[in-house]
Structure formats: C-alpha cells, structure tokens
A = this chain, B = another copy of it.
Amino acid sequence: MSTTDGSAPERTAHDTGEKGAASGRDAIVRAARRAFTLKPYAEVTMRGIAAAAGVSPSLIVKRFGSKEALFNTVADFGAAADALFAAPPPELGRHLVLTMVDLRDRFGGDPLLRVVFSLGIEDERTLLRSRFREQVTDRLAAALQGPDAALRAELIAGQLLGLGATLSLHRPDGAGAQAGAERLADLYAPGLQRLVDGA
C-alpha cells in the first residue's frame, strides 16, 4: 500500500507543540486515519497503528487514550472546514478551490476525500459520514442564502470531493497536477460560485 493516498493528515490546533512531539503526533494521526479508513473498526489495533507510525503503543495511549478516542480525533473535518469556509459568500467559490489545493499540497493528501472511501461500509466508519454531514454540509447550508440551501450545500460538497478525487486520480502526470491553483480556480470556481449564489 502506498502512503500517497487521498487521506490527508491535516493538522489541528494540537499540532503546535514542539517539533518532535508534533511530528510523532502527525505520524500517529496519519496511520490511524489510514487504518480506520481501510479496515473494519474491530480489526484496527493500537499496536498496528503504532507499528505503522513507528512509535510505541504506549505513546499512543498516553497521547490519545482509547481506540475510540483516537478514532474520534481522526474522524474530524472541522479544521478543514474552518479553512475552506473562511471567505464571504461572494468570494467563496474561488476561495474553496485555492484552499483545497493548498490543503492538499501542505498535507500531502486530501482533507475530505477519505469520507468517500468509507462509502458502502456499515460499521463505526459511518461516524465519518455523519461527521462530514455535520461539519461540512450542514455548516455550509447554514451559511447559504436563498432557496434549496441544503441541496446546494450537498452539491458544493460534491464538487469539492470531486476536485480532490480527480486530482488524486490523474496524478502524477495529469493536467490538473501540472496546472497552477489559479488556473484550476479559473476553470472550477465558476460552477462552485453559481451554487453558492443559488442563482
């Protein structure tokens, strides 16, 4: 399995500690995110995550507590949503594209796409989907004016997931990988903006 997947280790406020501690935390979060995305919850072990992260199991317990607590930490889209939605509605379309590209670059993966990997799997990973709906779709719907806000928010979320999916799918040599963020925004933002405007 490759580490160049779509599940980004986007950071949270907790990551601002000393560098060594932060990178250990990053490695644990990245390994946990991957394990919880690809395996049934019952098959994920702290020992396995520790091995993948190159740390001791006791360090994970010390820093995150239980397996459930670790799962709750990684099944969180709040930090990505904060960054993505930090623009007023008239500028949101372009901001969404530029921020998505920036988050993907900075964290070596996609901040949202892992929710798609969990589709069709009915176990604790459904929490990932309800978190996404709460933290991304519902939050966006509440910020939209005009009719069909819930539907438009779902479609905006779809375009964001689709942008990440197509960039991941066509790399490393695809046209999207070669294009700059501004060119991607020129092409992709108008459709998003139209959904934001609802007109």
Interfacial residues, chain A to chain B (CB-CB below 8 A): 1-2, 4-7, 113, 115-117, 119-122, 129, 132-133, 137, 148, 150-155, 157-163, 165-170, 174-176, 178-179, 183-184, 187-188, 190-192, 194-195
Contact = CB atoms under 8 A, between A and B. Distances in A.
Total copies of the chain: 2
Given A148-B183, A153-B175, 18 more contacts: A2-B122, A6-B120, A113-B116, A119-B168, A148-B187, A150-B175, A151-B187, A154-B167, A157-B169, A158-B162, A158-B166, A158-B188, A159-B159, A161-B161, A161-B162, A162-B163, A190-B191, A191-B195
A163 B158 contact: yes
Contacts of A190: 191, 194
Most buried by B among A7, A115, A161, A183: A161
20 contacts: A7-B120, A113-B119, A117-B117, A132-B169, A137-B170, A148-B179, A150-B174, A151-B178, A154-B170, A155-B163, A155-B166, A155-B188, A157-B162, A158-B162, A158-B163, A160-B162, A190-B194, A191-B191, A191-B192, A191-B195
A151 B175 CA distance: 5
Given A116-B113, A165-B116, A175 B154 contact: yes
Report, nearest first, the 8 A-B pairs whose CB atoms are least far apart.
A191-B191, A162-B162, A5-B120, A158-B166, A151-B175, A158-B162, A150-B175, A2-B122
Contact of A1 (B120, B129, B183, B184): B120
A121 B191 contact: no
Given A163-B158, A190-B191, A169 B119 contact: yes
A150 B175 CA distance: 6
Contacts of A165: 116, 119, 158, 161-162, 165
